[in-house]
Amino acid sequence: MAIFTRRSTVDAPLETVWAFHSTIDGLLELTPAVANLQVEAIRVPDGGDVLREGSEIDLSVGPIPGGPRQRFTSVIVAREELADEAYFVDEMETGPMATWRHTHRFRRVGDRTQLIDHVEYESGYGDLVDRALQPGFALAFAYRHRKTREKLDGDET
């Protein structure tokens, strides 16, 4: 199993960062336009906006104009909010990876929040391909963390 981890600190309270990452709108804001991400369907157990445990999200990306779209389903398999930490875990149910388990963790650090993305994955094509994916993940998660800071740094709400 390959592992990728990215950490950064956001100049915003835990509650603000947690709320931003708890809906599909947060995901859409953190995805580069070039990915052409589309939400095909969302199934939330209580029907609300917050992606709770048991939520299923059908997504597709089409980075090549006119090319085929890559479709996948992600399921929120765990979600917990504590006094100084919160996290949720999504797993790819169907899609291009043999295994994908992404833990989104948020830790209170005074008035700031540490954002930790931890991904355990297998491409299904062996260790060499798994390692070759790391630079792409590094770019994607650097973008996501930067966009989170741009959106939330200094947000006191």
Q: Which domains does the chain have, with CATH numbers?
A: 2-152 (3.30.530.20)
Q: Where are the alpha helices (DSSP H) in 22-82?
A: 24-29
Question: Within 10 A of 72 (CB to CB), how many other CB atoms are there?
Answer: 17
- Amino acid 63: pLDDT: 76
Res. 71: pLDDT tops 70: yes
- Structure confidence at residue 67 (pLDDT): 82
Identify the sign of the CA torsion 136, 142, 144, 147.
negative
pLDDT tens per residue across span 8-64: 999 999 999 999 999 999 999 999 888 889 999 999 998 889 999 999 999 999 878
Global model pTM greater than 0.85: yes
Q: Give me the pLDDT at residue 110, please.
A: 97
Amino acid identity, residue 11? D
